[in-house]
């Protein structure tokens, strides 16, 4: 007697259980083999894993501001009292969820390239079931071979989730090469800025110019490489606070998180996501520290929040949001 075919609900429940197990730490060899066997057993299971992983990533936004975070403070409603040093911003929370869901069907084959436009965030499934989430204005090129699963980050910022496989998963960023068999990690390579590597789960091995032996990166570690290449001193990853990791990855939900950055630095961060620019006319205002979680695509809303908190004025003319304390010069 043959058993009944699994329902979609059964598959979704099992996928959620696998994601929860993976999030607790690296899978053992036996568990990884069991997961591979489970995925191969039904064509619907990879899609269920992607959905469960997306839900897991979206839920991480609750920790973006640390243990003091209160989800109710982000619900639409009447304005709340905001202190001068602590402010929270929120707009269009459902948009990030809709955007993530809309990209789940995009599949990139074993060779190809993909690019995101200004303000666009896209989740792409690779040929083996691994995923790449591309931040705004990001380009990657995929070159899978029989020996390795290779992705090149040409520019921008991307979050990679490499599922366990027989071939190593390799990411090239400028002259640096990171390899793993199973990991989740972010790489940022913006213009002439240093390459910034952040490991969420699993481990990475880094090779690059001037590195005699691979540098190992553990879960929760970060490494910022000099823009001009590796120096004579061996680069040393450092373990970061989990709250910092959550803030650094807030863009996956369409948000930008700050924890004490200067206002002019925050304005520069918004410029990555929109043609609307924030201009700060007052140097003293530009130095004010900003803390909070904000919608990446709403620089005007950010400007209004800043004006309220710091006793400033805001005016918008076309694609320019201007903040000032004194009367604006004509």
- Residue with the bigger pLDDT between 83 and 28: it is 28
274 confidence band (pLDDT: 50, 70, 90): very high
Q: What is the pLDDT of residue 327?
A: 59
Above 60 in pLDDT, residue 295?
Answer: yes
Average pLDDT over residues 316-328: 85
Q: How far is CA 183 from CA 10, 56, 276, in A?
A: 26, 15, 36
Lowest mean pLDDT among 31-45, 88-102, 205-219: 88-102
pLDDT class of 68 with cuts at 50, 70, 90: very low
Mapped to the 3 state alphabet, what secondary structure does the chain carry?
Answer: CCCCCCCHHHHHHHHHHHHHHHHCCCCCHHHHHHHHHHHHCCCHHHHHHHHHHHHHHHHHHHHCCCCCCCHHHHCCCCCCCCCCCCCCCCCCHHHHHHHHHHCCCCECCCEEEEECCCCCCEEEECCCCCEEEECCCCEEEEEECCCCEEEEEEEEEEEEEECCCCCCEEEEECCEEEEECCEEEEEEECCCCCEEEEEEEECEEEECCCCCCCEEECCCEEEEECCCCCCCCCCCCEECCHHHHHHHCHHHHCEEEEEEEEHHHHHHHHCCCCCCEEEECCHHHHCCEEEEEEECCCHHHHHHHHHHHHCCEEEEECCEEEEECCCCCC
Q: Give the whole-angstrom CA distance, residue 81 versus residue 69.
A: 15
Name the most confidently modeled range: 50-59, 186-195, 222-231, 262-271: 262-271
Residue 25's pLDDT band, with cuts at 50, 70 and 90, is low
């Amino acid at each position: 007697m043959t058993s009944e075919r699994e329902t979609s609900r059964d598959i979704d429940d099992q996928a959620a259980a696998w994601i929860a197990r993976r999030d607790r730490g690296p899978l053992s060899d036996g568990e990884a083999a069991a997961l591979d066997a489970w995925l191969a057993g039904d064509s619907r299971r990879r899609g269920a894993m992607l959905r469960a992983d997306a839900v897991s990533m979206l839920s991480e936004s609750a920790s973006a501001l640390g243990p003091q975070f209160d989800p109710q403070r982000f619900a639409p409603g009447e304005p709340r009292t905001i202190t001068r040093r602590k402010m929270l911003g929120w707009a269009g929370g459902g948009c990030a969820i809709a955007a993530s869901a809309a990209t789940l069907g995009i599949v990139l084959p074993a060779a190809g390239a993909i690019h995101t436009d200004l303000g666009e965030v896209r989740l792409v499934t690779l040929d083996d079931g691994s995923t790449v989430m591309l931040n705004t204005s990001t380009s990657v090129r995929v070159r899978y071979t029989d020996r390795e699963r290779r992705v090149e980050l040409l520019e921008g910022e991307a979050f990679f989730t490499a599922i366990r496989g027989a071939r190593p998963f390799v990411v090239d960023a400028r002259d640096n090469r990171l390899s793993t068999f199973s990991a989740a990690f972010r790489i940022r390579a913006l213009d002439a800025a240093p390459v910034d590597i952040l490991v969420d789960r699993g481990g990475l091995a880094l090779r690059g110019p001037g590195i005699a032996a691979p540098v190992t990166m553990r879960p929760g570690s970060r490494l910022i490489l000099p823009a001009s290449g590796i120096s004579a001193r061996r680069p040393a990853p450092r373990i970061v606070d989990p709250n910092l990791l959550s803030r650094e990855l807030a863009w996956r939900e369409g948000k930008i998180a700050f924890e004490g950055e200067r206002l002019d630095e925050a304005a520069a961060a918004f410029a990555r996501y929109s043609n609307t620019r924030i201009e700060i006319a007052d140097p003293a205002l530009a130095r004010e520290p900003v803390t909070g979680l904000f919608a990446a695509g709403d620089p005007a809303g950010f400007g209004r929040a800043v004006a309220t908190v710091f006793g400033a004025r805001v005016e918008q003319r076309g694609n320019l949001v201007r903040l000032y304390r004194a009367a604006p010069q004509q």
